[in-house]
Amino acid sequence: MVTLAAAQGTPWPAVLLDLGIATSFVTCTLATTNALVRVLFSMGRDGITPPPRVLGATHRRYRTPHVAIAAALPVAGAVPALMLVCGTFVVSAIGGPVPVVLAALLVAAVAWYVWLRVRRPAELTGIGVYDETSVADVHGLGVRR
């Protein structure tokens, strides 16, 4: 579409498309980061993470999971930056680094599961038991500090 717009002498569709793509990228990045931070925060609150309950801490004034954010964002930013520097940042469903990245994620997930199985089996069995929202969750009753 950008090529067609340039051939017609109207550059505004290209600018509009770039703006839409950039907005979509930022939105997806924020949503994914939010989900990652929430998972780390919940795991910290449940005592599953290696430094017990550190990731489950909240900021005194703003009540945000600042420790989980500080742990997640450097990793989330470093991996794509490292891939870009190495020249392997290609999004391809057929080949390229995508299968390698997915394999690395699978290895990391299995390693984490094995670590939890060996080091903290009691916490692992409690995951998913209390997944429904209750009145105490909504009103903030029983929040651990």
**Over the stretch 10-23, which tens digit does the pLDDT of each residue have?**
777 777 777 788 78
Identify the pLDDT of residue 112: 83
pLDDT of residue 108 exceeding 80, the answer is yes
Nearest to 88 by CA among 75, 99, 103, 74: 99
**Percentage of the chain lying above the pLDDT 70 cut:** 70
pLDDT band (50, 70, 90) for residue 143:
low
**Over the stretch 120-139, which tens digit does the pLDDT of each residue have?**
777 766 665 555 555 665 66
HEC per residue, the chain: CHHHHHHHCCCHHHHHHHHHHHHHHHHHHHHHHHHHHHHHHHHHHCCCCCCCCCCCCCCCCCCCCHHHHHHHHHHHHHHHHHHHHHCCCCCCCCCCCHHHHHHHHHHHHHHHHHHHHHHCHHHHHCCCCCCCCCHHHHHCCCCCC
